[in-house]
Amino acid sequence: MTAEITKIADALHNSPFMRACRREDVPFTPVWLMRQAGRYMPEYRAVRASMDFLELCKTPSMAAEVTVTAAERLGVDAAIIFADILLIIEPMGLALEFSKGEGPVIHNPVRTAADVERLREVEEIAALQFVFDAIRETRRALRPNLPLIGFAGAPFTLASYIVEGGASKNYVHTKSLMYNDSGAWHAMMSLISRALIKYLNAQIDEGAQAVQLFDSWVGSLSPDDYRQYVLPHTRSVIAGTKPGVPVLHFGTGTASLLELMREAGGDVIGVDWRVRLDEAWKRVGHDVAVMGNLDPVALFANQDHLRAQARSILQQADGRPGHIFNLGHGILPETPVENVIALVDMVHEMSQES
């Protein structure tokens, strides 16, 4: 490495976000926000006016642009590559579409063992080259000491879309397959997991400093079902990512799954607002970092209230190294931009007090 490259690598390695992932001391609590590049932001809406969601995901220069713009506009401590958790299912042979207003639709959902048989093993990850190109372009455009997070959907959350054919309220098809043909279920989860390992490692190779696994819908499961049908697969994905690169393991509605998520792995456990951060951290153990956990709707409150809510979370973290501030889920479309910007400032400012 040249001296210049070494210097950049050092700066990244010692950025507050990366230090917090490793539970090292930080000058202030690092903060980033899930879905920080999204519809609440005028710059993002302007880009989307000229191209649809999937097209944006597949145009590296534009994906890089919205990623960098959001990080710079907000002053957050990490960028996250603009992409979608469902991109990985296309090379499995699933017909994905984002219909207006309805969200993702999969035209050939998996319902039976025969459907599972038809899923394609993702041998080559090159089908997602546009994601890797976006990561490379983003890395080039980003402030050199700002970490870039790669990501993927966790096996259960991906499986739920694949089986339901889209978003779901009760996960009837998903759980029916799980309960009634556990062989087919585990085969599907294994196939997904193998693809995820390749996908995450390729993101790391292309320049992501950390990766997040989104298990957004795992809170629909009982702890026993999670342990039996999900945990081994999530564990294999996390165990399969390149060592030395922090894994953030996130879910919502996980108040009774936290210990099991910890068991599955991750350097940072993401928690939502339904559980207090101090209680969540105690339960997952202080030997792991945590991320969270402001209710995204708190961003609709007046700034006094918002400040009080953010302060409460910082107080619960108690200055312990290993807290990354975030929301408990993604920023909602109608969120006032000025409150998002204010929140980032508040976290920086309040975490330096005392």
CA 264 – CA 222 distance, rounded (Å) = 15
Q: Which stretch binds its own copies (CB under 8 A): 1-9, 133-141, 151-159, 273-281?
A: 273-281
What the block records as the tokens of 254 is 């996980």
Binding of residue 179 to its own copies (CB under 8 A): yes
First to last CA, the chain: 40
Concerning whether 307 is annotated as a catalytic residue, the answer is no
Of 248, 298, 314, 327, which lies in the binding site for its own copies, with binding defined by CB under 8 A?
298
- Could you tell me which residues are beta bridge partners of residue 323? 290
Q: How many H-runs (helices) and E-runs (strands) does the chain carry?
A: 16, 9
C-alpha atoms less than 13 angstroms from C-alpha of 86 in its C-beta half-sphere: 20
**Sheet (strand 247-251) strand order:** 79-80, 148-153, 210-215, 247-251, 268-270, 289-294, 323-327
Is residue 120 within the footprint of its own copies (CB under 8 A)?
no
Nearest distance from residue 260's CB to its own copies, in Å?
11
Closest CA to 74 of 43, 113, 96, 118: 43
148: Cβ–Cβ under 8 A, 6 or more apart, which residues? Answer: 67, 78, 79, 80, 81, 135, 138, 139, 142, 207, 208, 209
**Does 274 interact with its own copies (rule: CB under 8 A)?**
yes
x/- map, 322-351, its own copies, by CB under 8 A: ----------x-x-----------------
Is residue 320 among the annotated active site residues?
no
Which residues between 218 and 237 bind its own copies (CB under 8 A)? 219-225
Q: Per rule CB under 8 A, is residue 253 in the interface with its own copies?
A: yes
Measured CA to CA, the distance from residue 269 to residue 325 in angstroms comes to 12
The answer to whether residue 84 is catalytic is: yes
DSSP 41-99: SHHHHHHHTTS-HHHHHT-HHHHHHHHHHHHHHHT-S-EE----TTGGGGGGT--EEEE
The answer to whether residue 98 forms part of the interface with its own copies (CB under 8 A) is: no
- Residue nearer to its own copies on the CB measure, 198 or 283: 283
Return the residue of 55, 97, 117, 279 that touches its own copies, per CB under 8 A. Answer: 279
Q: Does the footprint of its own copies cover residue 166 (CB under 8 A)?
A: no
Q: Which of 40, 161, 226, 229 is catalytic?
A: 161
Query: Strands 103-106, 148-153: parallel, antiparallel or unpaired by DSSP?
Result: unpaired
Are 248 and 210 in contact by the 8 Å Cβ rule? The answer is yes
We find the least distance from the C-beta atom of residue 101 to its own copies, in angstroms, to be 13
Q: Which of 19, 23, 44, 84 is catalytic?
A: 84
Q: Is 170 in the site for its own copies (CB under 8 A)?
A: yes
Of the candidates 19, 23, 35, 139, the residue annotated as catalytic is 35
Task: Find the shortest distance in angstroms from Cβ 220 to its own copies.
Answer: 8
Of the candidates 39, 194, 274, 283, the residue annotated as catalytic is: 39
Near its own copies by CB under 8 A: residue from 118, 242, 282, 305: 305
Residues with catalytic roles: 35, 39, 48, 84, 161
Binding site for its own copies (CB under 8 A): 170-172, 175-176, 179-180, 219-225, 253, 255-257, 273-276, 279, 295-298, 300-302, 305, 312, 332, 334
